[in-house]
């Protein structure tokens, strides 16, 4: 095993020609991706395209069958994965907390990586101040003293992002964070992500979704997956286009961007190449 310390000058994530094969079936085929500090990637594709499979590789949760994944400059398979994961903020939308802990305490458990607070653990003044800062960024400062059990799904989602950010990871991975949220909750979430990215310019994020309306306007790059293969990857304005999104979803779709946000609807006429 080599050191799990991040290499400072390496890209935060690098996947080179990865395949994931399960039961003889290719869930990902020849996918490559490089994520640098300050970039905000969207992984887009239809149901079953392989988005969550790719996110699991990037989060050091699973290994590729072929190809290489480097997380913070360290190759998966050559380092202690648990040590690498401390540098990755991974939000679990099914956070298994059932007790009425104050929201502030839940956010602080991001430092001990535990569901309940560690019995004798106390945050430093600096750690407490960081929790307040993140609660404020995620629009949750007014709920900091409230019991976890009283939060709505959208409020829990934003608190869990604050929790994931407590160890000051360099990379935040988000799997369909807006799923199931009503319009207001979705907009609050996206606004908080935009604010977070502005306040933490070195942070990189990778966000999985199949809805273009769920992309924050600060999205910088996109990777389109179809049936495990990469349709396109690069700067968002070159990739989130009517032609490429139609190819990705296998259906003629028309894309518009207004005030930084995207809208998708079925096209009236099919793009020429479909």
Ligand X SMILES: Nc1ncnc2c1ncn2[C@@H]1O[C@H](COP(=O)(O)OP(=O)(O)OP(=O)(O)O)[C@@H](O)[C@H]1O
> Contact 3/56 with Cβ under 8 angstroms?
no
User: CB-based contacts of 25: which residues, under 8 Å, 6+ apart?
Assistant: none
Nearer residue to ligand X within complex by CB, 31 or 138: 31
Alpha helices in the chain (DSSP H): 51-58, 81-85, 103-112, 125-137, 153-165, 183-199, 236-239, 242-249
For residues 170 and 178, what is the distance between their CA atoms, to the nearest angstrom?
22
One character per residue 2-41, x = contact with ligand X (rule: CB under 6 A): --------------------xx---x--------------
User: CB-based contacts of 229: which residues, under 8 Å, 6+ apart?
Assistant: 28, 29, 30, 31
Q: Please, which of residues 91-150 interact with ligand X by CB under 6 A?
A: none
Nearer residue to ligand X within complex by CB, 48 or 100: 48
Q: Which stretch binds ligand X (CB under 6 A): 48-56, 131-139, 161-169, 251-259?
A: 48-56
Q: Which stretch binds ligand X (CB under 6 A): 51-59, 111-119, 187-195, 237-245?
A: 51-59
> Contact 4/59 with Cβ under 8 angstroms?
no
Nearer residue to ligand X within complex by CB, 50 or 169: 50
Nearer residue to ligand X within complex by CB, 148 or 249: 249
- CB 19 to ligand X: min, Å: 13
What SS3 class is residue 41? strand
Does 59 interact with ligand X (rule: CB under 6 A)? no
- CB 66 to ligand X: min, Å: 16
Does 269 interact with ligand X (rule: CB under 6 A)? no
Of 2, 47, 124, 269, which lies in the binding site for ligand X, with binding defined by CB under 6 A?
A: 47
- CB 180 to ligand X: min, Å: 13
User: What's the order of all strands across the beta sheet hosting 229-235?
Assistant: 74-75, 66-71, 13-22, 25-35, 229-235, 221-226, 40-44, 204-209, 171-175, 88-90
Does 179 interact with ligand X (rule: CB under 6 A)? no
H/E element, 222: strand 221-226
For residues 41 and 268, what is the distance between their CA atoms, to the nearest angstrom?
29
Does 211 interact with ligand X (rule: CB under 6 A)? no
Of 6, 45, 64, 139, which lies in the binding site for ligand X, with binding defined by CB under 6 A?
A: 45
- CB 64 to ligand X: min, Å: 13
- Which residues pair with residue 16 across a beta bridge? 68
Q: Which stretch binds ligand X (CB under 6 A): 43-51, 112-120, 135-143, 164-172?
A: 43-51
Of 49, 231, 244, 264, which lies in the binding site for ligand X, with binding defined by CB under 6 A?
A: 49
Positions that interact with ligand X (CB under 6 A): 22-23, 27, 45, 47-53, 210
């Amino acid at each position: 095993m080599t050191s799990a310390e991040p290499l400072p000058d390496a890209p935060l994530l690098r996947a080179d020609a990865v395949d994931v094969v399960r039961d003889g079936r290719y869930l990902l085929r020849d996918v490559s991706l490089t994520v640098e500090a300050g970039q905000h990637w969207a992984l887009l594709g239809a149901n079953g395209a392989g988005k969550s499979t790719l996110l699991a590789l990037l989060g050091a949760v699973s290994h590729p069958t072929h190809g290489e994944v480097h997380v913070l400059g360290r190759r998966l398979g050559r380092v202690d994965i648990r040590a690498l994961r401390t540098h990755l903020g991974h939000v679990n939308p099914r956070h298994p907390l059932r007790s009425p802990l104050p929201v502030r305490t839940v956010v602080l458990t991001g430092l001990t990586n535990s569901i309940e607070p560690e019995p004798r653990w106390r945050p430093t003044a600096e750690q407490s101040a960081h929790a307040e800062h993140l609660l404020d960024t995620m629009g949750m400062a007014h709920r900091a003293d409230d019991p976890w059990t009283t939060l709505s799904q959208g409020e829990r989602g934003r608190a869990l992002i604050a929790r994931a950010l407590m160890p000051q990871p360099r990379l935040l991975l988000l799997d369909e964070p807006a799923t199931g949220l009503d319009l207001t909750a979705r907009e609050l979430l996206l606004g908080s992500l935009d604010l977070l990215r502005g306040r933490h310019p070195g942070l990189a994020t990778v966000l999985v979704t199949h809805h273009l309306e769920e992309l924050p306007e600060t999205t910088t790059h996109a990777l389109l997956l179809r049936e495990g293969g990469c349709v396109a990857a690069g700067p968002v304005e070159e990739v989130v286009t009517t032609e490429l999104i139609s190819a990705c979803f296998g259906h003629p779709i028309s894309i518009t961007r207004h005030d930084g946000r995207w809208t998708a609807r079925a096209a009236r006429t099919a793009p020429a190449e479909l």
